[in-house]
Amino acid sequence: MNTLENMQTFVRIIEAGSISSAADQLDVAKSVVSKRLQQLEQHMGVTLLTRTTRRQTLTAAGESYYQQCLRILEDVAEAEALVKDEHQALSGRIRMAVPLSFGLSHLTEGIWQFNQQHPDVVFDIDFSDRLVNLVEEGFDMGIRIAKLSESTLKARKLTSTKIVLCASPGYLAAHPVIERPEDLRKGHEFVQYSGGPDSWQFADADGKPWQLKMPHSIRANNGEFNCQSAIRGQGLIFLPDFICYKALRTGELVPVLEGQLPERVLGCYALYPETKHLTYRVRCLIDFLVTYFETDCPWQS
């Protein structure tokens, strides 16, 4: 019995959520994963997982063993990293999840540059605006644009983006004048991001909060499409400046209520699972991206 391999498989079963998903992520047969789990349980004489057709649940012994496995596997990985020459050529796969608009517009060049420097690194990238579960889906890292809340993920900030309220000159000419936030209530439509808020919080001159429910003409889950819709006069839009900065500079979009709205700034983060050892190649990529965005953030220049 290969104890270390079985421990790694056990951890993957827990993080993937099922034996089938773990087998897919490890690229082995489901029977192989089941056998490794069975070997562990027989070796220790305890049940680690209770399983039904619908779910799996860690036993008390399984929870304790899972935590110990994480520590041991991280120690092994660190020990291997210490004896390796960190100046050797990087190699191996990096599986990462990236927001579609940000990834295509601002991350592509960085990844190409990193890959030119380290051609033996293989990228497997999921470009999607959906909220990816890095642990369950087996990603090494992800890029997320948000105000981060408490989670089981570790994060390193790469850059930031500001949310801008804007519209096309044609839209503004054809709709009621907007001189203060309260005017947004009067005969206006919005282009909305699917999955985002359909209302925004404001405060009046006395600091009293009020909520703007945003009627929408178009709703879509892609920022570039929404930006183009706003340019074509479909409505007001709240957009990250990394998407709309070019349109703002050319005048295709015009900022609305500048200086009168609460500043909304989101961080752009590299995330990775807290329970998963950060490989040297992933750590090097994150370091590279931090440096890359220090000099390549066109929406901030």
> Taking residues 102-123, what's their average pLDDT?
93
What does the pLDDT look like over 50-73, one tens digit per residue? 877 677 888 888 888 888 888 788
User: Class assignment of domain 162-265?
Assistant: alpha beta
Q: Are 153 and 271 in contact (CB under 8 A)?
A: yes
For the segment(s) 92-150+268-296, the CATH number from 3.30.460.80, 1.10.1520.10, 1.10.540.10, 3.40.190.10 is 3.40.190.10
What does the pLDDT look like over 3-52, one tens digit per residue? 889 899 999 988 888 888 899 999 899 999 899 989 988 988 999 888 77
Return the minimum-mean-pLDDT range out of 22-36, 108-122, 146-160.
146-160
Decide the pairing of beta strands 121-127 and 190-193.
unpaired
Three-class SS state of 220: strand
- Report pLDDT for 104: 92
> Taking residues 209-218, what's their average pLDDT?
81
d(CA 189, CA 218): 9
| Amino acid occupying residue 217 | S
Give the distance, in angstroms, between the CA of residue 158 and the centroid of all CA atoms in the same chain: 12
- Report pLDDT for 78: 63
Nearest Cα to Cα of residue 48 among 65, 35, 32, 67: 65
d(CA 213, CA 211): 6
Both tokens of 192, joined, read 């909305």
- Report pLDDT for 117: 92
d(CA 112, CA 81): 25
Say whether 162-265 and 92-150+268-296 share the same fold: yes
> Taking residues 83-108, what's their average pLDDT?
82
Three-class SS state of 269: strand
Domain 3-83 has CATH 1.10.10.10: yes
pTM, two decimal places: 0.70
Give the distance, in angstroms, between the CA of residue 118 and the centroid of all CA atoms in the same chain: 24
The separation between the first and the last C-alpha atoms of the chain, rounded to the nearest angstrom, is 58
- Report pLDDT for 87: 56
Beta strands in 4-120 (DSSP E): 49-51, 56-58, 92-98
- Report pLDDT for 57: 85
Q: Are 166 and 237 in contact (CB under 8 A)?
A: yes
Domain boundaries defined on the chain: 3-83, 92-150+268-296, 162-265
The b/e string for 63-89 (b: 16+ C-beta within 10 A; e otherwise) is: eebbeebbeebeeeeeeeeeeeeeeee
